[in-house]
Amino acid sequence: MLDPDKNIPEVRLNKEVKAFATVKLRSGIHKEMAGEPIYEHEVNDIQKLTLTDEDSPNSAHVTLIRFREKWIMHFDFRYNKQKARERFDAGKEFYNVAKYCFDAKLLRPFVDALFSATELLVTATMAESPINEGFYAAVSMTCEKLF
């Protein structure tokens, strides 16, 4: 686990590893209800691993598990996914306002809303990057000088 709020990576071994697995069941195996237990002998293959809700949604991670005779690996090196999602959603709202203003020929509010949408969408993308905050601040100051 690589939590952007901590300076040290967290390593989990064996029973410390917690994840959800998306699996392909062996032929003839059917589960009637969501949440019904699935046992190893019923699984044909593991297709995906996902962290649990106990882990920070803003952490990057690498997860490796041994399943039968092979290793299954899942990784997601994006940081701040939750923060990025919030900015992205706000950016979409400002974009929709910008479209409305453009259609209504309200050009000044259109430009302002479009600038805000762009800024939010760019910072959402940058928030997921492991680039240090000094670089992010420099880019923000440069954008502010342009406008």
Provide the mean pLDDT of the chain. 85
Q: What percent of the chain has pLDDT over 70?
A: 88
- Mean pLDDT along residues 21-45: 89
Report the first-to-last Cα separation within the chain, whole angstroms: 39
Looking at residue 51, its pLDDT comes to 84
How far apart are the C-alpha atoms of 71 and 69, rounded to whole Å?
7
**Residue ranges per domain, the chain?**
14-76, 81-146
Strand (E) or helix (H) holding 84: helix 81-103
Question: pTM for this structure?
Answer: 0.62
Looking at residue 44, its pLDDT comes to 92
Q: Tell me the per-residue pLDDT of 38-89, one tens digit each, with 9 for 90 and over.
A: 999 999 999 888 888 888 888 888 888 888 888 888 888 888 888 899 999 9
Looking at residue 146, its pLDDT comes to 47
Distance set, CA 17 to CA 48, 49, 54, 60, 62 (Å): 15, 11, 11, 15, 11
Looking at residue 127, its pLDDT comes to 81
Looking at residue 77, its pLDDT comes to 83
